[in-house]
Protein backbone atom coordinates (compact mmCIF):
# COMPACT_ATOMS: atom_id res chain seq x y z
CA UNK A 1 0.00 0.00 0.00
CA UNK A 2 1.36 3.42 -0.90
CA UNK A 3 2.51 5.48 2.05
CA UNK A 4 3.82 8.89 2.97
CA UNK A 5 7.45 8.72 3.95
CA UNK A 6 9.31 11.22 6.09
CA UNK A 7 12.96 11.83 6.86
CA UNK A 8 14.62 12.12 9.25
CA UNK A 9 12.67 10.20 11.85
CA UNK A 10 14.44 12.11 14.59
CA UNK A 11 16.64 15.19 14.52
CA UNK A 12 18.34 17.06 17.29
CA UNK A 13 19.38 20.62 16.52
CA UNK A 14 20.78 23.54 18.40
CA UNK A 15 18.66 26.59 19.00
CA UNK A 16 19.03 29.08 16.18
CA UNK A 17 19.89 26.51 13.54
CA UNK A 18 17.88 25.83 10.41
CA UNK A 19 16.16 22.51 9.92
CA UNK A 20 14.69 20.92 6.82
CA UNK A 21 12.20 18.11 7.20
CA UNK A 22 11.54 16.05 4.13
CA UNK A 23 8.51 14.16 2.94
CA UNK A 24 7.59 12.07 -0.06
CA UNK A 25 3.80 12.15 -0.43
CA UNK A 26 1.82 9.44 -2.15
CA UNK A 27 2.45 9.82 -5.86
CA UNK A 28 -1.03 10.57 -7.23
CA UNK A 29 -2.03 12.89 -4.41
CA UNK A 30 -2.56 16.57 -5.07
CA UNK A 31 -2.91 18.13 -1.60
CA UNK A 32 -0.04 18.20 0.86
CA UNK A 33 0.02 19.20 4.48
CA UNK A 34 2.26 19.69 7.46
CA UNK A 35 0.99 19.21 10.98
CA UNK A 36 2.71 19.55 14.34
CA UNK A 37 2.21 17.73 17.62
CA UNK A 38 3.94 19.08 20.69
CA UNK A 39 4.46 16.36 23.27
CA UNK A 40 1.25 15.64 25.11
CA UNK A 41 -0.80 18.04 23.02
CA UNK A 42 -3.13 17.72 20.08
CA UNK A 43 -2.18 17.60 16.44
CA UNK A 44 -2.14 21.11 14.97
CA UNK A 45 -2.48 22.15 11.34
CA UNK A 46 0.43 24.18 9.99
CA UNK A 47 0.02 24.52 6.25
CA UNK A 48 -1.59 23.08 3.15
CA UNK A 49 -0.09 23.11 -0.32
CA UNK A 50 -1.83 22.65 -3.65
CA UNK A 51 -0.88 23.36 -7.24
CA UNK A 52 2.62 24.43 -6.20
CA UNK A 53 1.56 27.05 -3.76
CA UNK A 54 0.39 27.45 -0.19
CA UNK A 55 -3.39 27.21 -0.11
CA UNK A 56 -3.87 27.78 3.58
CA UNK A 57 -1.72 28.33 6.66
CA UNK A 58 -2.33 28.60 10.35
CA UNK A 59 -1.23 31.29 12.78
CA UNK A 60 1.64 29.03 13.80
CA UNK A 61 3.06 29.09 10.29
CA UNK A 62 4.82 32.45 10.45
CA UNK A 63 7.88 33.75 8.60
CA UNK A 64 10.05 31.24 10.42
CA UNK A 65 8.50 28.45 8.36
CA UNK A 66 8.48 27.74 4.66
CA UNK A 67 7.48 24.86 2.42
CA UNK A 68 8.37 23.87 -1.07
CA UNK A 69 8.02 21.05 -3.53
CA UNK A 70 11.33 21.29 -5.31
CA UNK A 71 11.20 18.37 -7.71
CA UNK A 72 7.64 17.12 -8.05
CA UNK A 73 8.04 14.35 -5.52
CA UNK A 74 9.56 15.75 -2.34
CA UNK A 75 7.71 18.16 -0.07
CA UNK A 76 9.83 19.96 2.48
CA UNK A 77 9.28 22.00 5.59
CA UNK A 78 12.04 24.45 6.49
CA UNK A 79 12.24 25.92 9.95
CA UNK A 80 14.64 28.83 10.25
CA UNK A 81 16.29 29.93 13.47
CA UNK A 82 14.78 27.16 15.56
CA UNK A 83 13.53 27.83 19.07
CA UNK A 84 13.10 25.50 22.02
CA UNK A 85 9.33 25.61 21.55
CA UNK A 86 9.69 24.23 18.04
CA UNK A 87 10.45 20.85 19.58
CA UNK A 88 7.64 18.62 18.39
CA UNK A 89 6.65 15.80 16.11
CA UNK A 90 6.06 17.08 12.60
CA UNK A 91 3.73 15.09 10.38
CA UNK A 92 3.54 15.30 6.65
CA UNK A 93 0.29 14.27 5.00
CA UNK A 94 -1.26 14.06 1.58
CA UNK A 95 -4.58 13.29 -0.06
CA UNK A 96 -6.06 12.88 -3.52
CA UNK A 97 -8.35 15.45 -5.05
CA UNK A 98 -12.04 15.30 -4.23
CA UNK A 99 -14.18 15.94 -1.15
CA UNK A 100 -14.07 13.50 1.69
CA UNK A 101 -10.92 11.76 0.55
CA UNK A 102 -8.71 10.43 3.26
CA UNK A 103 -5.64 12.34 4.36
CA UNK A 104 -2.73 9.93 4.76
CA UNK A 105 -0.06 10.69 7.32
CA UNK A 106 3.59 9.84 7.48
CA UNK A 107 5.15 8.46 10.63
CA UNK A 108 6.50 11.83 11.61
CA UNK A 109 9.80 13.57 12.20
CA UNK A 110 10.60 14.17 15.81
CA UNK A 111 12.47 17.46 16.19
CA UNK A 112 14.31 18.24 19.39
CA UNK A 113 15.75 21.73 19.78
CA UNK A 114 18.39 22.04 22.49
CA UNK B 1 -15.07 27.99 12.45
CA UNK B 2 -14.97 24.26 12.94
CA UNK B 3 -13.86 22.68 16.17
CA UNK B 4 -13.80 19.29 17.82
CA UNK B 5 -14.14 18.39 21.48
CA UNK B 6 -13.23 14.99 22.81
CA UNK B 7 -14.69 14.35 26.22
CA UNK B 8 -12.21 12.53 28.41
CA UNK B 9 -8.49 12.67 27.84
CA UNK B 10 -8.06 9.21 29.31
CA UNK B 11 -10.42 6.26 29.11
CA UNK B 12 -9.70 2.95 30.78
CA UNK B 13 -11.60 -0.25 30.04
CA UNK B 14 -11.12 -3.91 30.78
CA UNK B 15 -10.32 -6.31 28.01
CA UNK B 16 -13.58 -7.48 26.47
CA UNK B 17 -15.54 -4.45 27.66
CA UNK B 18 -17.29 -1.87 25.50
CA UNK B 19 -15.17 1.00 24.24
CA UNK B 20 -16.86 4.40 23.94
CA UNK B 21 -14.83 7.45 22.98
CA UNK B 22 -16.79 10.66 22.72
CA UNK B 23 -16.46 13.34 20.09
CA UNK B 24 -18.56 16.45 19.54
CA UNK B 25 -18.01 18.86 16.70
CA UNK B 26 -18.92 22.37 15.79
CA UNK B 27 -19.37 23.34 12.16
CA UNK B 28 -21.44 25.88 10.32
CA UNK B 29 -21.84 23.56 7.33
CA UNK B 30 -22.17 19.79 7.03
CA UNK B 31 -18.81 18.41 8.02
CA UNK B 32 -16.73 15.43 7.13
CA UNK B 33 -15.67 13.60 10.27
CA UNK B 34 -12.77 11.28 10.91
CA UNK B 35 -11.31 9.12 13.62
CA UNK B 36 -7.59 8.48 13.57
CA UNK B 37 -5.55 6.20 15.84
CA UNK B 38 -1.97 6.75 16.88
CA UNK B 39 -0.02 3.85 18.31
CA UNK B 40 3.11 4.65 20.33
CA UNK B 41 5.89 6.11 18.21
CA UNK B 42 3.84 5.83 15.04
CA UNK B 43 1.95 8.13 12.73
CA UNK B 44 -1.77 8.66 12.42
CA UNK B 45 -3.83 5.91 10.88
CA UNK B 46 -7.39 6.34 9.67
CA UNK B 47 -9.93 4.24 11.57
CA UNK B 48 -13.05 5.45 9.80
CA UNK B 49 -14.71 8.49 8.27
CA UNK B 50 -18.13 10.02 7.72
CA UNK B 51 -18.66 11.76 4.39
CA UNK B 52 -22.44 12.32 4.32
CA UNK B 53 -23.41 8.83 3.26
CA UNK B 54 -24.55 6.32 5.90
CA UNK B 55 -24.67 7.78 9.40
CA UNK B 56 -23.34 4.57 10.93
CA UNK B 57 -19.81 4.08 9.74
CA UNK B 58 -17.77 0.94 10.16
CA UNK B 59 -14.01 1.07 10.26
CA UNK B 60 -11.01 -1.10 10.77
CA UNK B 61 -10.33 -3.31 13.79
CA UNK B 62 -14.02 -3.61 14.69
CA UNK B 63 -14.57 0.09 15.40
CA UNK B 64 -17.63 1.99 14.32
CA UNK B 65 -19.03 5.48 14.80
CA UNK B 66 -22.43 7.06 14.39
CA UNK B 67 -22.97 10.56 13.06
CA UNK B 68 -25.78 12.28 14.98
CA UNK B 69 -26.49 15.70 13.54
CA UNK B 70 -29.00 16.61 16.27
CA UNK B 71 -26.36 16.00 18.92
CA UNK B 72 -23.39 17.19 16.81
CA UNK B 73 -21.66 14.01 17.85
CA UNK B 74 -19.53 11.34 16.25
CA UNK B 75 -18.73 8.91 19.06
CA UNK B 76 -16.45 5.95 18.45
CA UNK B 77 -17.39 2.52 19.77
CA UNK B 78 -16.14 -1.03 19.80
CA UNK B 79 -18.15 -3.82 21.40
CA UNK B 80 -15.21 -5.66 22.91
CA UNK B 81 -11.84 -4.10 23.71
CA UNK B 82 -8.63 -5.89 22.93
CA UNK B 83 -5.24 -5.22 24.48
CA UNK B 84 -3.97 -4.12 21.07
CA UNK B 85 -6.51 -1.27 21.04
CA UNK B 86 -4.47 0.66 23.59
CA UNK B 87 -3.51 3.86 21.76
CA UNK B 88 -4.30 7.54 21.32
CA UNK B 89 -7.48 8.28 19.40
CA UNK B 90 -8.15 11.54 17.62
CA UNK B 91 -11.43 12.81 16.26
CA UNK B 92 -11.15 15.33 13.44
CA UNK B 93 -13.42 17.51 11.34
CA UNK B 94 -12.88 18.78 7.85
CA UNK B 95 -14.64 20.92 5.30
CA UNK B 96 -14.41 20.54 1.58
CA UNK B 97 -15.38 23.11 -0.96
CA UNK B 98 -14.02 25.77 -3.25
CA UNK B 99 -12.60 27.79 -0.39
CA UNK B 100 -11.58 24.91 1.84
CA UNK B 101 -8.44 22.88 1.59
CA UNK B 102 -9.84 19.87 3.36
CA UNK B 103 -7.48 20.36 6.27
CA UNK B 104 -8.23 18.42 9.41
CA UNK B 105 -9.00 20.09 12.71
CA UNK B 106 -8.23 17.66 15.51
CA UNK B 107 -9.64 17.19 18.94
CA UNK B 108 -7.37 16.95 21.93
CA UNK B 109 -7.14 13.18 21.74
CA UNK B 110 -8.20 10.39 24.07
CA UNK B 111 -5.78 7.86 25.44
CA UNK B 112 -7.37 4.45 25.63
CA UNK B 113 -5.99 2.09 28.24
CA UNK B 114 -7.04 -1.55 28.14
CA UNK B 115 -6.60 -3.54 31.33
CA UNK B 116 -6.26 -7.32 31.32
* pLDDT value at residue B40: 85
CA A71 to chain centre: 16
CB contact under 8 A, B43 and A108: yes
Of B43, B96, B107, the CB nearest to A99: B96
Lowest mean pLDDT among A35-39, B83-87, B93-97: B93-97
pLDDT at B56 over 70: yes
Computed over every residue of chain A, the mean pLDDT equals 94
pLDDT at A54 over 90: yes
Q: What residues of chain A lie within 8 A of the CB of B90, using their CB?
A: 42-43
- The closest of B84, B79, B88 to B112, measured between CA atoms, is B88
- The tens digit of pLDDT for each residue in B40-50 reads 878 899 999 99
Average pLDDT over residues B55-72: 94
Do the beta carbons of residue B25 and residue B33 sit within 8 Å?
A: yes
Optimal mutation site among B47, B101, B109, B111, interface A, most CBs of chain A within 10 A = B101
* pLDDT value at residue B99: 61
Q: In what order do the strands lie in the sheet with B3-7?
A: B3-7, B19-26, B73-78, B64-68, B56-58
* pLDDT value at residue A67: 97
Of A42, A50, A102, the CB nearest to B49: A102
- The tens digit of pLDDT for each residue in A66-95 reads 999 988 789 999 999 999 999 999 999 999
Res. B98 pLDDT band, cuts 50 70 90: low
Amino acid sequence: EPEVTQTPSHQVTQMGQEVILRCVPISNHLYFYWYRQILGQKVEFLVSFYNNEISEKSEIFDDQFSVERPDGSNFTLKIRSTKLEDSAMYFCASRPDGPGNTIYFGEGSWLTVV
Amino acid sequence: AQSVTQLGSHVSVSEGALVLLRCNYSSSVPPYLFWYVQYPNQGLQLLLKYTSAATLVKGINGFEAEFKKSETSFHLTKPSAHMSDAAEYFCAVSLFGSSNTGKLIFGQGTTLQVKP
